[in-house]
Structure 1
Amino acid sequence: MLPIAAVPIAIASIAASSTIPIERRRGERAATVFTIGKISFDGRSLPCMVRDLSEGGMRIQLPAPPPPGARVLIEMRGLDPRLARVRWAVGHEAGLSFDLRCCPADIFAARTSRSGRIARQPRFPLRRAVPLLIDNRPIPAMIENISVGGARLTLSEPLEDGRQGVLGLTLGDRDGVAGTICWARDDSCGFRFVQPISSVTLAVTLDSVGLS
């Protein structure tokens, strides 16, 4: 895999800028979120950071936002895929307006189901053959999908839950990602990263290799 350069995001300067348009209906309040979303446009699906959410839209952050007027599909934990339009884009941030308004309180409530299970972070397809190093022994594996917190793998041999290892994948400046097998079924398993990767690193990875 080709090395991927870090893409700096000037969060402080963007947040402090007074030029970012704010388009909300009168009386509409935005809730601060700071969670990972999934935005799809131009045949691509990329992770983004959802900064705030209101009934009519959201403010997101990603390395290269789509231009104003673009039609996108957006989702996040607790929010099913929803059509939206880009109203403004400044630097690495963009404001989206939903086609159909939502209820933020319902979204936050849906993030945890009645059974107590937390809704999953968005997954992104990434077919990549990599070694999984377990006890200093490389095991051939295929990445099926990836999120900021982990990956689904197909393995050449079954492994049990709780095994720790290193996935031979370069993400940003990380050459190999440490993690733990959190579930295993037949020849598939879930590999939870010890340290989540950033949405920027994941977005640049998916976009640059053309697998999003």
Structure 2
Amino acid sequence: MLKDYDLRDDGLAAAGVADRRRPGKRHRAVLLIGRATYAGTEVACLIHDISAGGMMARFAVPPVVGDRMTIAMRGLDMVEATVRWVRDRKAGLEFAMPQPVERVFQPVDEAGLIARAPRFALVRPALLRFGDKRLAARTIDVSAGGAKIATPWPMRVGDTGQLLLPDTGSSLYGRMCWVRPSDAAGEAGVRCGFRFVTPLSLEALAHILAG
């Protein structure tokens, strides 16, 4: 029997509150993008509620009861989990081992580093648009909050504009938050971090990853 997250019923999880009738049972409401890896693919999910024993998440394409996956989220190491129920696009997952979920709510980790959302590998052609200039680039990875980009063109921290992804028709507004000379073999130019003005929704992120 699950002691701190009843994955057979998402009623309490949807409320995101503690069940005070059961000492020690605790639910925390969150809205964080996670990265689920199963069936050989990486997909995005939106974590609604979490406890030491499991979580409820929404998927663009729902998994199947019994699916086993690994979950990456801000503040925790990779977590192994099993799908216990599915309703529409929401699923209840049971962790293989209890997790220190308090880390999910801490802005920095134990090493003093900023806890960041998981990133998804995304090697795709892209364009950077600044005013009337369109500059060739390619994405390296993406998260709900931004993208890592490689480009042969010089960039400056603070440059604001759009990241255009032709494969999906996405146009994302943001600014350069860091710029470094590329250290990749055979790659000229710079690598840079482009922070989105507005974090991507689950649907927008899933659309980009599926493109």
Structure 1 length-normalised TM = 0.80
Q: Is the alpha carbon distance of 1:39 and 1:67 closer, same or farther for their aligned partners in structure 2, counting shifts above 3 Å? A: same
Matched, 1:57 2:43: no
Q: Is the alpha carbon distance of 1:57 and 1:114 closer, same or farther for their aligned partners in structure 2, counting shifts above 3 Å? A: closer
RMSD: 2.3
Residue 124 of structure 2 corresponds to: 128
Residue 154 of structure 2 corresponds to: 158
Percent identical among aligned pairs is 35
Alignment of 1:77-156 (within 5 A): 77-109=74-106, 111-113=107-109, 117-156=113-152
Residue 130 of structure 1: CA displacement? Answer: 1.3
SS of match in other structure, 1:203? helix
Residue 174 of structure 2 corresponds to: 179
Q: Is the alpha carbon distance of 1:171 and 1:93 closer, same or farther for their aligned partners in structure 2, counting shifts above 3 Å? A: farther
**Residues 60 and 202 in structure 2, CA contact (< 8 A), matched pair in contact too:** no
Cα separation, 2, equivalents of 1:90 and 1:69: 14
Residue 192 of structure 1 corresponds to: 195
Cα separation, 2, equivalents of 1:164 and 1:21: 43
Q: Is the alpha carbon distance of 1:71 and 1:103 closer, same or farther for their aligned partners in structure 2, counting shifts above 3 Å? A: same
**Residues 170 and 208 in structure 2, CA contact (< 8 A), matched pair in contact too:** no
Structure 1 gap segments, 5+ residues each? 1-18
Structure 2 length-normalised TM = 0.80
Residue 105 of structure 1: CA displacement? Answer: 2.0
Residue 169 of structure 1 corresponds to: 165
Cα separation, 1, equivalents of 2:93 and 2:69: 9
**More contact order relative to length (CA 8 Å, sep ≥ 6):** 1
Q: Is the alpha carbon distance of 1:165 and 1:76 closer, same or farther for their aligned partners in structure 2, counting shifts above 3 Å? A: same
